[in-house]
């Protein structure tokens, strides 16, 4: 089963996404802030990371930069999730190292399509 690291500080978003992803056959690992996300990415080496960009401790922009700069985790695809949908936000996510970008509130079917771009063997 593909493993997804969900880095999300909002408990409702975490629970909803975790449950829906698990029902689709993914194993979901969870981190509640950017620092924990970087540590779990290094320790667990997930197949994909869903990164909230507005996080406490270490924001998603910097957490993504650290993950992508690490030789061990740099190849893990990162999908940035943000409530910011203004002009330039997509480019800002990609510039930080995200491989893809999606807005909140999450359209689960759209997000699932983006996950499948990186994990085509996924259900």
> Residue 34 is part of a domain; what is its CATH number?
3.40.50.2300
Q: Give residue 68's domain range.
A: 3-116
Residues 6+ apart with CB under 8 A from 15: none
For residues 122 and 14, which has the higher predicted lDDT (pLDDT)?
14
The pTM (predicted TM-score) of the whole model is 0.95
- Residue 122 forms part of a structural domain: no
Pairing of strands 48-52, 27-31: unpaired
Low-confidence winner among 6-10, 19-23, 101-105, 110-114 (lowest mean pLDDT): 101-105
pLDDT at 92: 85
Distance separating alpha carbons of residues 117 and 103, to the nearest angstrom: 17
- Residue 123 forms part of a structural domain: no
Per-residue model confidence as pLDDT tens digits over 52-109 = 999 989 999 999 999 999 999 999 999 999 887 666 778 888 899 999 999 888 999 9
Distance separating alpha carbons of residues 53 and 64, to the nearest angstrom: 9
Low-confidence winner among 5-19, 27-41, 67-81, 109-123 (lowest mean pLDDT): 109-123
Per-residue model confidence as pLDDT tens digits over 68-84 = 999 999 999 999 998 87
- Residue 111 forms part of a structural domain: yes
In DSSP notation, 8-40 reads: ---HHHHHHHHHHHHHTT-EEEEESSHHHHHHH
- Residue 121 forms part of a structural domain: no
36 bridge partner residues: none
pLDDT at 123: 58
């Amino acid at each position: 089963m593909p493993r997804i690291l969900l880095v999300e500080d909002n408990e409702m978003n975490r629970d909803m996404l975790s449950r829906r992803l698990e029902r689709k056959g993914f194993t979901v690992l969870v981190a509640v802030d950017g620092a924990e996300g970087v540590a779990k990415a290094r320790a667990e080496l997930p197949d994909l990371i869903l990164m909230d960009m507005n996080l406490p401790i270490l924001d998603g922009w910097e957490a993504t930069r650290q993950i992508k700069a690490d030789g061990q985790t740099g190849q893990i695809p990162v999908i940035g999730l943000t409530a910011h949908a203004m002009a330039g936000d997509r480019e800002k996510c990609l510039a930080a190292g995200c491989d893809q970008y999606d807005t909140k509130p999450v359209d689960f079917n759209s997000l699932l399509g983006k996950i499948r771009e990186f994990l085509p063997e996924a259900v």
